[in-house]
Amino acid sequence: MISKDFLGKIPIFKFLPEEDHISLVSLWKMKTMRANEVLFRKGEPGSAMYVIEEGEIEILLPVDPPVNEVQLSILKEGEFFGELSLFADTPRTATARALADTRLVEMQRGDFITFVMERPSIGISMLSEMAKRLLLTNELISSLASKNPNEEIEEDLSFGDRVSDKIAVFGGSWPFIFTFGGFMFVWITLNTIQAVSKPFDEYPFILLNLMLSTVAALQAPVIMMSQNRAQKKDRLKADLDYQVNVKSELMLQQLHKKMDRVLDEELSDLKKEIGQLKGKQKSPKRPSK
């Protein structure tokens, strides 16, 4: 049985007085589910709200192959779902399935309506929480446009990441090759021609080799850090492309359903008109006097 302390942690109930929590406790019934067990499917009639006491529930939206299902969210302990069924006798808008062994508490619509009629404050609290969820849904719908992975990565870059990117960009450019080639030419020339003074790095240029080894040792990890970020950017771009493709597919499916509905209505009207015309043609003509 659900406790009033646990009930007080649920957002839509936590602002209610303690006496209302005590009255609400008696309306809930325990329900257990095994992993991968389906609680309800999209389109089924709904008449109850659920609160997760232990375990996880995933909310899925069935779509056509090859995707089949799109995961909308994963609900954990203390979260609730199915609240729309308490206010209206509407079909379920998604499928709920247990990810692990889960323990739920269930409240039926009839018990809830009786309780709300006696205490309207709980209805106002639930409507406020549902309004927040609708706002989140509107934000999700308004984000149908693809995000820029460059901007997403740029927001999380540290100072060291930016420096390594600059070094990697300069190290893989023609200016670096010409600059480094010119530096080596001047170094070798000064230490080969002994016209002014004794060379500071005689052949075989041990100091130059040490500098080259040091530059190579430092440049390799810097380039690897930049490549790792490039891989993260590619993965983010792939995830964003997948999300956009799924959203586009859902919109196309909805468009197809609307077109099919319009065509069915037009065919039905056309059949009626043909039936009326045939009825007029078969009706006998009155003999002239």
In which band, very low, low, confident or very high, does the pLDDT at 282 lie, cut at 50, 70 and 90?
low
Percent of the chain with pLDDT over 90: 4
Going from N- to C-terminal start, the domains of the chain cover 4-142, 149-275
Average pLDDT, the chain: 76
pTM over 0.85: no
pLDDT of residue 144: 47
Distance CA 190, CA 210 (A): 17
Q: Who has greater pLDDT, 235 or 44? A: 44
For domain 4-142, give the CATH number.
2.60.120.10
β-partners of residue 107 are 49
Distance CA 39, CA 80 (A): 13
For 49-64, the DSSP string reads EEEEEES-EEEEEE--
pLDDT of residue 286: 57
Residues 153-188 pLDDT 10s: 666 677 777 777 777 777 778 888 888 888 888 888
Tell me how crowded residue 102 is: count the other CB atoms within 10 A of its CB: 24
pLDDT of residue 138: 61
Distance CA 92, CA 44 (A): 5
